[in-house]
Structure 1
């Protein structure tokens, strides 16, 4: 099971982030990314919300760094670690816009893009962006097919129920012949969407037992990624046995990769924790 880093600083969920993150910036994040890259961790994450209504931010948080700008900077400071959007909301973007912007990121990072994609659940955000909330699942399915057709070619074409294009040039475009798609969600439908239209599944808010049961009922194709997150932040230097047990539980549930949060009191302590976690996995 590979281990990726659920990046600190870029998302600050109430009760789930450390106080030091509130005042940290790109310098601290870049130092952490460089350490994760050097230590052999598999990916870094960055999520997306364009805006969060003030009354909802108390529950969901209001700080969400833009993935494209964030990863553009981190790509220049790292050399091998993958850059995973976890997740982009499909309904907020035309597939060609994602293909151009994130295809360019794939190019400048040397083919390290992973597109985590989701249908979206915050109706108020859809309304603020002028995007229809009802029927978003069907639109997302068509967007996934259109995006796959557009990402890795200069002259894409596609004709679907919601998106259609031809005789267009998208340059630059992704350098990976097949950019991995990971679908976020917590429902059986999200897992079916991932199996049918993507390369992996990134669930949230489910217990290991629920995850194992859902995965047992699914016919997963060869190479399919199951990216799971421990229920609590890992403390590999202060509670090594608990960290090992948490990762083991994910493997037992069917994870091919873990997206972990790290308990830390500062950016420098975070780097120390990454070193300790790397030692535990050797």
Structure 2
């Protein structure tokens, strides 16, 4: 099971962030991600919200760094860690907009993009962006198919139910021959959608429910299941509990763990990254650089 980090600072939903994150900036983020890169972690994340309704921010948080700008900076500060959008909302963008903007990110990062995508649930945000909320699932399915036909192609062509295009040049485009696509969600439909992509990033489900859903599905070889522990891990102070939590993810079917870490400062977070790497619990890391 590979391990990535749910990047601190860039999203601050209550109560899942540390106090120091509220006043941290890109320098602190970059030093943490540089450490994760050096230690061989699999990926870092950044999610997308354009504008969160004030009432919803009380539950979801109001801080969401833009993933394209954030990852563009982090790409220049790292060498091999993957940059995973977790997640972009499909309904907010035309598929070729994603193909161009994130294809450019794939180019400048040397082919390190993992494209996490979701359907979205905040109707107020859809309305703000003049994006259709009703029927968004079917539209997302068509957008996913359009993206799969367009990423890594200079002259993409697609003819679907909601999107139809040909005769356009997208340059630059993704340099990976195949950009991995993960689908976020918590429903059986999201899993079915993910099975047409490369991985599933569920949330808000018990490990027992996740294991049952995966057991009932025809999961292909090489399919990523990206699971997160229910609370931040403390590998330095409580290595046994940390190892047990990660084993539970693996036993539920995870191939990738996306972790949050207990930390009192950016330096403490970096120490926790090193402590987690030293645990003997079947984790897979790249070489230390």
Q: TM range, normalised to the smaller chain? A: over 0.9
TM-score normalised over the length of structure 1: 0.99
In the alignment, structure 2 segments of 5+ residues that lack a partner are 284-289
Deviation at 1:271, TM superposition (A): 0.3
TM-score by length of 2: 0.96
The aligned counterpart of 1:52 is 52
Spell out structure 1 runs of 4+ moving beyond 4 A. none
Of the two structures, which has the highest relative contact order with CA contacts closer than 8 Å and spacing of 6 or more? Answer: 2
**How far has the Cα of 1:141 moved from its partner?**
0.4
Question: Structure 2 matches for 1:179-190, cutoff 5 A?
Answer: 179-190=179-190
Which position in structure 1 is the counterpart of 2:286?
none
- Residue by residue over 1:246-278, the C-alpha shift from the partner in whole angstroms, topping out at 9 and shown as x without a partner, is 000000000000000011000000000000001
| Displacement of 1:17 | 0.4
RMSD: 0.7
Q: 2:220 matched to which residue of 1?
A: 221
Partner of 2:255: 256
| Residue 280 of structure 1: aligned partner | 279
Secondary structure (helix, strand or coil) at the match of 2:195 reads helix
Question: How many Å separate the matches in 2 of 1:231 and 1:114?
Answer: 23
Three-state SS of the structure 1 residue aligned to 2:140 is: helix
Residue 84 of structure 1: SS of its match in structure 2? strand
**2:134 match: secondary structure:** coil
Partner of 1:110: 110
Which residue does 1:163 correspond to in 2? Answer: 163
Give the Cα separation in 1 of the matches to 2:277 and 2:91: 37
Structure 1 runs not aligned, ≥5 long: none
Question: SS at 2:191's partner residue?
Answer: helix
Aligned residue for 2:96?
A: 96
Cα distance in 2 for partners of 1:168, 1:149 equals 13
Alpha-carbon offset, residue 30 of structure 1: 0.2
Q: 1:56 & 1:227 partners in 2: Cα distance? A: 26
